[in-house]
Amino acid sequence: MTSWMVTYDNSGGAAPEAPTPGFLARTLFNTGHKVIGLRYLWLALGSVLLGMFLSLLMRIHLVWPGAQIPFLSGFGSTPERYTALTIFHGSLMVFFVLTTAPQAGLGNYFLPLQIGAREMAFPALNLISFWATAASLGGMTAAFFVQPDAGLTLWTASVALFCFAALLTALNFTVTTLDLRAKGMTLPRMPLTVWAWFINAMLSMLIFSILLAVCVFLLSDRLLASQFFSPLTFLSNQPVALAQSTMLSLWQRLFWFFAQAEVYVAMLPCFGIVSHLLSTFSQKPVWAERAAVLALCGVGLCGFFVWGQHMFSSGLNPWSPLVFSLLASSLGLPACVLVLSWFGTLWNAKIQLNTAMLFVLGFVSLFLAGGVSGLFLARNDLAIASISDDFVTGHFHLVMGVAATFAILGALFFWFPKMFARRLNETLGKLHFWLTFAGVFCVFMPMHWLGLMAHLHPAGGDALEITPLGASLRTFVTFATILTVAAQALFLLNFVWSLWQGERTDDRNPWRATTLEWSVPSPPPDNNFGVIEPVVYRGAYEFSGTGAAVDLEPQNAAPPASERASQLKPAAEARAKEC
Amino acid sequence: MPGTSIVEDIELIIEDIGGGGGKNPPPGGDDGDEGGKRRGPQVPSSRRYATAIVVAIVSIVMFFMAMASAFLYTRANSNRWVPLHLPSVIWFNTAVLLLSSGAMELSRRRLSLGEVRQFRKLWFAATALGFLFLAGQLVAWRQFILAGFYVSTNQASSFFYIFTGLHGLHLLGGICALLYVSFRKFEKAKVSRTVAAEVTSYYWHFMDGLWIFLLALLYLGK
């Protein structure tokens, strides 16, 4: 332990005696926030591997429709099964990876630690929320294997269950951040990760109730024969103009109200993580920290209002596409503030280019590349022109899917020593990073191109049939996918090997970070801070950036005696007056 | 390691920094936890329950707003909308629910005066009126069915059943909370009776307001 650190542990005095919990209380019904956070991460890891595997299957069937893969082809060889593959892949990735891992996984583990709390506000609700999420994952997996009709009902019920779990998690996060902060942890002193989790929890609170309501409508339609969306099946057989004008539009409105904001639910915690890691590995304060916090709020707020940008061609009031288009473009403003803040932090910094930092820089690169194509999609006239699905697929995979995954991976490399007291292997990590980084650009950039090619042939039909170039692009994408997925084996190997055999870290704070989680032993004890109450004296990013031996101030480091005396004076005077 | 071992010193500084979250409730406050023996690390503050119910109410509002907007949208755009005739018992139910809210307020006033017996009586009355409301809603369903309106009959009847049904489900949760306040032995609980009654009353009055809103929607939008 280095001398500049203020640390908490149990050595200071006897911890209060707690009865030893029983077997079930320690395993299935463990309400500890770190245990639950880790379980969410395991769940997300399983889901991401399965989801990646499904995308591989889809790409293979897309290029070689007749390919027979032993055992697996049965799941994806007919058009219906291909649709089921797509739904399952999307549900897994959006719900159980992008929504779950950065918020419920990393957030549950580190939010209480970073604000100096010993537990989430409602541990029992947290436990219910986790098991509901797990049950929802089980339900969706089962839905993939049963008959399409029953499968869809089961899938809808699973989504409803997931919404319920997400709402409980969001409630817990909001209350924990508002009411359980340690002494001295004022709002401006909160790390940006905590800000992001907090804003994200509030956004989730608002939008998952919408999706829950939609799921209730759907289930009621399917099970009770009510008439909320039921004309949908009737109208889908009617001419397009008629179908668009009535019921279909209701479903679109409600769905996109959720789904567009869901993109920001996946991204917000990643923004927080990226700002936090960039600052730590640059050993510099977050540039324009206050503006970055405001930008996070702005992303949350704008994200809530841009749902109409998916419905430009669905018969809205002629003025509303203009409004939504403006709102969608105005999202660029907070995004620009964040990007500027990241570059400002990096400016002139002595960067530690380890794997965590590489992934975070990869995030910035992917976010910028994907964000630029988002500007095209925010224009209402381009949506009416027939840019095909491939463009949209390339856009949101880059900016949402892969970028968020990079932030999660960066966070994992960053916090791994805290969670397991071991480091992930750097060589394997860097190799994995470069292969994945090159791989995802090779997969998703040609997709943009494919999308624009369809635009050249507005008569419709498949790009594959029209141009040989389109066909070879698709084959290229599929090969790139195979290589990228194969590269993930490196990560899996690194992860599993490091869990058991990785380099041990005895240092509590190997990255020289300032936030509270680094002041406790690794892995943190059950009650996080031992017998002493954590106290916070300063902001989250007090790096001096001068390269001196002690160039950072942990949040819990008390100010020097001289400053303290000047702070104590007024209090002492007040006390003297009272006497 | 400066500072960490001298607890009084830290507290002095904190008073000056004007600490952020985790402020303890004022001494002699209403939380049962503040009693001496549980004064271990981080005494759970009662504020979290009030915060949680407010956040939960916001979320439930969004849930019903999604449904209300679907109602208004369908009402405005559907060409097969059949007007709805609300069963008459629903007005009686509304009065019962309003009375229940009133009884709860009177009951809380008794509790703040320290008259626990009176509090219990009135609280029980509020709970009973809550049950009566739910029973009345079932009668309303019965009347509706006898008039030939089922969930699947038309769009308006679908909305009627989903609104009343989901409101009833949320109200049932409220009744559970009312029963909790009635029967919990608060000497051992993490939360005091006053706080539990207050938090429950927020939710109960919200259920009241939500019902008025849904009724107005169904009545005016028929």
Give per-residue pLDDT as tens, A435-491.
999 999 999 999 888 887 765 554 544 544 557 888 889 899 999 999 999 999 999
Helix (H) or strand (E) holding B120: helix B116-146
| Interface contact flag, A568 B16, Cβ < 8 Å | yes
The CA distance from B118 to the nearest CA of chain A, in Å, is 32
- Full DSSP string of A166-183: HHHHHHHHHHHHHH-PPB
φ, ψ (nearest 5 deg) of residue B58: -60, -45
CA distance A570 to A558: 18
Domain membership of residue A561 as a residue range? 503-579
Among B63, B178, B199, which residue's Cα sits nearest to residue B132?
Answer: B178
Assess contact for A91 and A155: CB atoms under 8 A. Answer: yes
Number of structural domains (chain A) is 2
- Enter the tokens of residue A498: 């490091």
What b-and-e string marks burial along A345-359, b requiring 16 or more CB atoms within 10 Å of the CB?
bbeebeeeebbbbbb
Q: Is the peptide bond before A102 cis (omega within 30 degrees of 0)?
A: no
Q: Which of B1, B3, B22 comes nearest A183 by C-beta? A: B22
φ, ψ (nearest 5 deg) of residue A543: -95, 140
- Give the pLDDT score at A3: 41
Among A564, A421, A187, which residue's Cα sits nearest to residue B20?
Answer: A187
- Give the pLDDT score at A310: 67
- Give the pLDDT score at A500: 92
* Residue the block writes with tokens 């010993």: A118
Residues written for chain B: 222
Q: How many Cβ atoms are within 10 Å of A462's Cβ, its own excluded?
A: 12
| Interface contact flag, A210 B63, Cβ < 8 Å | yes
| Interface contact flag, B67 A529, Cβ < 8 Å | no
Percent of chain B with pLDDT over 70: 80
- Give the pLDDT score at A296: 95
**Maximum average pLDDT range among A68-72, A456-460, B27-31:** A68-72
What are the CB-based long-range contacts (under 8 Å, 24+) for A374-383? A374/A399, A375/A329, A375/A332, A377/A309, A378/A309, A378/A325, A378/A328, A378/A329, A378/A331, A379/A325, A380/A309, A380/A312, A380/A321, A380/A322, A380/A324, A380/A325, A383/A309, A383/A312, A383/A313
B5 to chain A: which residues are within 8 Å by CB? 12
A531 to chain B: which residues are within 8 Å by CB? 41
CA distance A356 to A353: 8
CA A483 to chain centre: 24
CA distance A523 to A422: 9
Q: Helix/strand/coil (H, E, C) string of A58-115?
A: HHHHHHCCCCCCCCCHHHCCCHHHHHHHHHHHHHHHHHHHHHHHHHHHHHHHHHHHHH
- Does residue A150 fall inside a structural domain? yes
Select from A152, A178, A204 the last residue of a domain.
A178
* A395 pLDDT higher than 80: yes
Q: How many Cβ atoms are within 10 Å of A75's Cβ, its own excluded?
A: 18
- Enter the tokens of residue A260: 């567009």
Among A175, A193, A274, which residue's Cα sits nearest to residue A517?
Answer: A193
Q: Which of B5, B51, B63 comes nearest A175 by C-beta? A: B51
- Give the pLDDT score at A228: 84
Residues written for chain A: 579
CA distance A354 to A425: 10
- Domain extents in chain B: 47-220
- Does residue A551 fall inside a structural domain? yes
**A519 or A238: whose pLDDT is higher?**
A519
CA distance A57 to A69: 9
Select from A178, A203, A222 the last residue of a domain.
A178
- Does residue A461 fall inside a structural domain? no
Interface test with B, best of A114, A173, A214, A535 (most B CBs within 10 A): A535
In tens, the pLDDT along A340-366 reads 999 999 998 889 999 999 999 999 999
CA distance B15 to B13: 5
Task: Give me the helix-helix angle, A33-63 and A468-501, nearest 10°.
Answer: 150
**A41 or A78: whose pLDDT is higher?**
A41
Give the chain A residue whose CA is nearest to the CA of B67.
Answer: A213
- Does residue A59 fall inside a structural domain? yes
CA distance B47 to B24: 9
Does residue A535 sit in helix, strand or coil? strand
Percent of chain A with pLDDT over 70: 82
B195 to chain A: which residues are within 8 Å by CB? none
Q: How many helices (H) and strands (E) does chain A have?
A: 21, 0
The CA distance from B157 to the nearest CA of chain A, in Å, is 8
Helix (H) or strand (E) holding A159: helix A148-179
Distances (CA, A) of A24 to A72, A432, B182: 38, 38, 31
Q: How confident is the model at residue B200 (pLDDT cuts 50, 70, 90)?
A: very high
Instruction: Output the CA torsion sign for A37, A40, A46, A51.
Output: negative
Q: Which of B47, B78, B152 comes nearest A224 by C-beta? A: B152
- Enter the tokens of residue B66: 């999604």
In tens, the pLDDT along B82-125 reads 888 899 999 999 999 999 999 999 999 999 998 999 999 999 99
A222 close to B (CB below 8 A) = no
B151 close to A (CB below 8 A) = yes
- Enter the tokens of residue B33: 């936890």
- Does residue A427 fall inside a structural domain? no
A228-242, A250-264, A556-570, B46-60: segment of lowest average pLDDT: A228-242
- Give the pLDDT score at A575: 57
φ, ψ (nearest 5 deg) of residue A564: -65, -40
CA distance A358 to A364: 10
* A154 pLDDT higher than 80: yes
Mean pLDDT of A101-130: 96
Interface test with B, best of A183, A198, A220, A550 (most B CBs within 10 A): A183
Interface test with A, best of B11, B63, B149 (most A CBs within 10 A): B63
Q: How confident is the model at residue A65 (pLDDT cuts 50, 70, 90)?
A: confident
CA distance A436 to A410: 13
B93 close to A (CB below 8 A) = no
Interface of B with A in 161-200 (CB under 8 A): 161-162, 166
- Does residue A128 fall inside a structural domain? yes
Q: Which residues contact B9 (CB under 8 A, 6 or more apart)?
A: B3
A246 to chain B: which residues are within 8 Å by CB? 77-79
**A147 or A247: whose pLDDT is higher?**
A147
Select from A135, A153, A178 the last residue of a domain.
A178
CA distance B10 to A435: 50
* A387 pLDDT higher than 70: no
Q: What is the ipTM of this complex?
A: 0.86
Interface test with A, best of B1, B4, B71 (most A CBs within 10 A): B4
A226-240, A257-271, B4-18, B73-87: segment of lowest average pLDDT: B4-18
- Give the pLDDT score at A385: 54
Among B207, B123, B214, which residue's Cα sits nearest to residue B163?
Answer: B214
In tens, the pLDDT along A515-535 reads 999 999 989 998 899 888 899
**B60 or A465: whose pLDDT is higher?**
B60
Q: How confident is the model at residue B28 (pLDDT cuts 50, 70, 90)?
A: very low
Choose which CATH entry (3.40.50.2300, 1.10.3720.10, 1.10.8.60, 1.20.120.80) describes domain B47-220. 1.20.120.80
* Residue the block writes with tokens 């849930």: B63
Q: Which of A185, A210, A253 comes nearest B21 by C-beta? A: A185
- Looking at every residue in chain A, the average pLDDT score rounds to 85
- Looking at every residue in chain B, the average pLDDT score rounds to 81
First to last CA, chain B: 71
φ, ψ (nearest 5 deg) of residue A50: -65, -45
* B208 pLDDT higher than 80: yes
Q: Which of B41, B51, B78 comes nearest A531 by C-beta? A: B41
> Based on the number of CB atoms within 10 Å of its own CB, is A556 exposed (0-12), middle (13-18) or buried (19 or more)?
buried
The CA distance from B90 to the nearest CA of chain A, in Å, is 22
What b-and-e string marks burial along A434-450, b requiring 16 or more CB atoms within 10 Å of the CB?
ebbbebbbbbbbbbbbb
| Interface contact flag, B59 A167, Cβ < 8 Å | yes
A361 close to B (CB below 8 A) = no
Residue A239 has, within 13 A of its CA and on its CB side, a CA count of 2
Mean pLDDT of A229-252: 58
CA distance A35 to A31: 7
**A52 or A454: whose pLDDT is higher?**
A52
A220 close to B (CB below 8 A) = yes
* Residue the block writes with tokens 């005077």: A573
| Interface contact flag, A246 B166, Cβ < 8 Å | no
Q: Which of A179, A213, A249 comes nearest B48 by C-beta? A: A179
Percent of chain B with pLDDT over 90: 59
Among A339, A277, A345, A181, which residue's Cα sits nearest to residue A514?
Answer: A277
φ, ψ (nearest 5 deg) of residue A535: -130, 140
Paired strand residues for A543? A552
Interface of A with B in 252-311 (CB under 8 A): 253-254, 257
Mean pLDDT of A173-184: 94
| Interface contact flag, B59 A115, Cβ < 8 Å | no
- Give the pLDDT score at A562: 62
A563 to chain B: which residues are within 8 Å by CB? none
Paired strand residues for A552? A543
- Does residue A327 fall inside a structural domain? no
